[in-house]
Amino acid sequence: MSPDSSELPPAYASLESRPHNDSPRVESDSFGQPPAYFNPTNDSVSSTSSSSYRLPSSFAIGSKTIPQLVSIAEVQGHLALLNAFAEFRTKVGGLLGGDASEYISVSSLMPEDKEKRWSWFIGLAVERFERWCKALEPSDADVDEDIFLDKFLPPVDVLMIWHSYLLNPAWYLEDAKRVPSLRNLRRLGVCFANVLPKLSFYLISFSASDSKMRLATWTSRTQTDFDPFESATTLTEREVVCPACLLPVVVQLTKPDGTGYLQSAFSQTCTNPSCNHPITKGSLGIRRMLVDLTRNVGEKATEEFQTYMAGSLFRPGTMYDTTRGDIVKRNILASTKLKRPANCGSEREWQDGIMKKVGWNMKEMRKAMSEELKGIGEKLITRVIGAYSDDRIFSIDLIGATLRQGSFISKMQSFGWTSPRYLTGSNEVVLHHAVARYHAFLDLMVTNPTSMIVPTLDIDLVWHTHQLLARKYRKDCSTLLGKFLDHDDKVEEGRLALSFELTTKLWQDRFGLPYVYCGCPISGETIGQKLTRIVGIQSSMKHRYLEPPAELPEARNGTHPSDHNSVYALHMKKQGDSGRRERTAKYAKGLKKAEKGKDKAEDTGTKIQGQSGDSKWLHSQPFLVPIPMTLKDDASAVASQGCMATVSDVVNGSEGAGGLLCAVGTGICSPGGAACGAAAGCGPRFRPQGGCAVAYA
């Protein structure tokens, strides 16, 4: 198909040529065509490549031999997305700074600090994403790929939130099946997965302004401008329902005193003169929880009803366990304070009665739930409670999830892997190697089902790509693993470090090859092991494809540990600090040994991390969360980039993030579960740096 200029499908224009747009355009080559990297490719190495590396035609995972699960074109499409997100963040950082004349004056309430400003834009993006989800129609998914791109692909900021949601696959699947407002998103996700291989070409080839249909569809449905920067000038309010009188109330997203909806101290008095009830995130969350708790009790459980409690439907071996959901709900409703009174009329009366008994307090609600859920466990209560932190339709904190992805995107960018011209020809082999290692990673999980397996950055990239193919990912997990493989993006740093050490040993035992080639010291290695890993001593022919391509030493960069999900548990401060000191000492000692061995490695023709002999280490020490910003007493989280966010709160000015005590499902204190501790999470506070680990839902 060769459309004329008026019919070209949309994407994102150059930041330089279109200052208000949301993603960059990469210059075409001398013939006016986009770079070769951005054309969908098959999975054989380019004919122009001189590489001797070849991706196997099939892979062994456990007892099964399967074809390739994730294509190179899909990984490239994902990298193009990450590039768009990185460029969007760069432009956000440029607002109010440098040559400010290139940018619009977005809002008088926009934070001057770059990191806080980024959090603010993410908060607005979540608001836009929710509006879009609610406005989707069943017929939207009944279109071909070109129509989806030309009409329904959302702006880059909204794509970024959807991307983060998909990378929490257990929550995404449960919400999409449980919440009526999200069912159309699940169906549209199939379209998104189908076009992923095309995104690498599409995102840099066309401007969103080329499609009037795309702009008109977005604007009419969300009542916001397609351009996130233009939208920020007008998107200042949100309508909530007063949890007391159930009448709509318009609230400000941000206020100078920090009490806006997107701020930590959100508070609004109901504008209904006969009510005047204080509205907070907590009270909104309790009402939403009680609506789910009291809805359709006694009715036949089907997907047509929002019958189940958030967080109650996933367990190992079953991806959507409605029987478990029924049991959880029945047990909760058996609590003395939560039972339906014999003389109670409507669901509204029942909810109001519970509100009075628990005093609008989530801690009291937790106590009431614990009365009958002791046999099921505190982790489940934490998971359910944490899913009701506010009135949004999502069960996870998408602001925090998006912030945690930032460090991973920065790593991909620092490697040059998001660059349009980087992975062409022979350089594309880096992705072939990553795909091969991902399949071995899955094999390691199948053969070590009780261990927490921690990926490296290259494996994590392909794993993330697989998760973007939500329906396929679910089916592949069921077929290969017999259970759903969740993506835990919040793991205590010490536990993550220990699990990574175990992963390196299991990998070596399974494949006879090192797991890490990036040049960083691994705890417990001898100098001989270190040199063997860097030099790349020949392995058996069976697993040679897992070694980095010899002609592309930069492929070693991706084998660095992926720690963007590392968090620091403040309620375990003493143990955490002790572990930090020990890991830091080992790392420093390892660096000294590595420097001594560098000359020997370079004598063999292998450069550490693909750098010149006198270069500095490319990577920082893994599993070490940066020193956080100062927290207020009610603050709950600090992201690695210096931004604070938790439970859909965004920092403004110098205020910390507030709300519940910890994000949902944090696997901090014990394997595979939510955190232990206080009323709504893992103790008083935690600091998310943002790495990944395997967790069976």
3-state SS record for 300-364: CCCCCCCCCCCCCCCECCECCCHHHHHHHHHHHHCCCCCCCCCCCCCHHHHHHHHHHHHCCCHHH
Structure tokens at 319: 């991806």
Q: Is 573 left (phi over 0), alpha (psi -120 to 50) or beta?
A: alpha
When mean pLDDT is compared over 405-419, 578-592, 611-625, the highest value belongs to 405-419
**b/e string for 263-292 if b means 16 or more Cβ within 10 A?**
bbbbbbebeeeeeebebbbbbbbbbbbbbb
Give residue 562's pLDDT.
52
Mean pLDDT value across residues 46-57: 64
Question: Which of 34-38, 168-172, 415-419, 478-482 is the least confident region?
Answer: 34-38
Sole residue written with tokens 């739930």: 369
Kindly tell me if the per-residue pLDDT of 462 is higher than 70.
Answer: yes
Kindly tell me if the per-residue pLDDT of 388 is higher than 70.
Answer: yes
Kindly tell me if the per-residue pLDDT of 524 is higher than 50.
Answer: no
Kindly tell me if the per-residue pLDDT of 618 is higher than 90.
Answer: no
- Strands (E) across 62-100 are located at 64-66
Kindly tell me if the per-residue pLDDT of 589 is higher than 80.
Answer: no
When mean pLDDT is compared over 27-36, 93-102, 165-174, the highest value belongs to 165-174
Structure tokens at 381: 């209560």
Beta bridge partners of 488: 693
Structure tokens at 244: 């007391």
Kindly tell me if the per-residue pLDDT of 249 is higher than 90.
Answer: yes
HSE-up (13 A, CA, CB side) for residue 383: 25
CA–CA distance, 35 with 107 (Å, rounded to integer): 37
Tell me the pLDDT band of 391, cut-offs 50, 70 and 90: very high
Give per-residue pLDDT as tens, 3-28. Answer: 343 333 333 233 233 333 333 333 33
Q: How many CB atoms are closer than 10 A to CB 44? A: 12
Give residue 200's pLDDT.
80
CA–CA distance, 71 with 439 (Å, rounded to integer): 12
CA–CA distance, 38 with 652 (Å, rounded to integer): 38
Tell me the pLDDT band of 263, cut-offs 50, 70 and 90: very high
What share of the chain has pLDDT > 90, as a percent? Answer: 42
Contact (Cβ atoms closer than 8 angstroms) between residue 664 and residue 486: no
Contact (Cβ atoms closer than 8 angstroms) between residue 123 and residue 51: no
Residue type present at position 463: W
Phi, psi of 695 (to 5 degrees): -145, 120
Contact (Cβ atoms closer than 8 angstroms) between residue 567 and residue 490: yes
Would you give the end-to-end CA distance of the chain in angstroms?
Answer: 44
Q: Is 90 left (phi over 0), alpha (psi -120 to 50) or beta?
A: alpha
Give residue 517's pLDDT.
79
Helix, strand, or coil (residue 268): strand
Contact (Cβ atoms closer than 8 angstroms) between residue 363 and residue 347: no
Mean pLDDT value across residues 213-217: 93
Give residue 420's pLDDT.
75
Mean pLDDT value across residues 543-547: 65
Give residue 94's pLDDT.
84
CA–CA distance, 61 with 455 (Å, rounded to integer): 16
Give residue 153's pLDDT.
93
**Higher per-residue confidence, 131 vs 673:** 131
HSE-up (13 A, CA, CB side) for residue 195: 22
CA–CA distance, 484 with 573 (Å, rounded to integer): 32
Instruction: Let me know how many helices (H) and strands (E) the chain has, helices first.
Output: 20, 13
Nearest 5°: the CA angle 83, 412, 96 is 55
- pTM value is 0.76
Question: Which of 41-50, 166-175, 444-453 is the least confident region?
Answer: 41-50
Kindly tell me if the per-residue pLDDT of 677 is higher than 70.
Answer: no
Tell me the pLDDT band of 620, cut-offs 50, 70 and 90: very low
Q: How many CB atoms are closer than 10 A to CB 434? A: 26
Kindly tell me if the per-residue pLDDT of 56 is higher than 80.
Answer: yes
Helix, strand, or coil (residue 237): strand
Sole residue written with tokens 């912030």: 403
Tell me the pLDDT band of 482, cut-offs 50, 70 and 90: confident
CA–CA distance, 121 with 459 (Å, rounded to integer): 29
CA–CA distance, 406 with 93 (Å, rounded to integer): 13
Helix, strand, or coil (residue 211): coil
Contact (Cβ atoms closer than 8 angstroms) between residue 373 and residue 328: yes
Helix, strand, or coil (residue 255): coil
CA–CA distance, 373 with 365 (Å, rounded to integer): 12
Contact (Cβ atoms closer than 8 angstroms) between residue 328 and residue 309: yes
Structure tokens at 621: 């020490």
Rounded-to-5 percentages of helix, strand, coil across the chain? 45, 5, 45
Cα 52–chain centre separation: 35
What share of the chain has pLDDT > 70, as a percent? Answer: 60
Give residue 302's pLDDT.
54
Judge residue 528's burial from the number of C-beta atoms within 10 Å of its C-beta, 0-12 exposed, 13-18 middle, 19 or more buried. exposed
Alpha helix locations (H) across 448-492?
Answer: 457-468, 470-480
**b/e string for 11-21 if b means 16 or more Cβ within 10 A?**
bbbbbeebbbb
Kindly tell me if the per-residue pLDDT of 58 is higher than 60.
Answer: yes
CA–CA distance, 169 with 164 (Å, rounded to integer): 9
- The radius of gyration of the chain's CA atoms, rounded to the nearest angstrom, is 25
Question: Which of 137-151, 258-272, 661-675 is the least confident region?
Answer: 661-675
Give residue 570's pLDDT.
39
374-378: long-range contacts, CB 8 A cutoff, minimum separation 24: 375/331, 376/327, 376/328, 376/331, 378/676
Residue among 573, 569, 587, 604 at smallest CA distance from 681 = 569
| Average pLDDT taken over every residue of the chain | 73
Kindly tell me if the per-residue pLDDT of 287 is higher than 60.
Answer: yes
Name every residue whose Cβ is closer than 8 Å to that of residue 97 and which is 6 or more positions away in sequence. 114
**Higher per-residue confidence, 665 vs 401:** 401
Mean pLDDT value across residues 647-654: 39
Question: Which of 196-205, 314-323, 476-485 is the least confident region?
Answer: 314-323
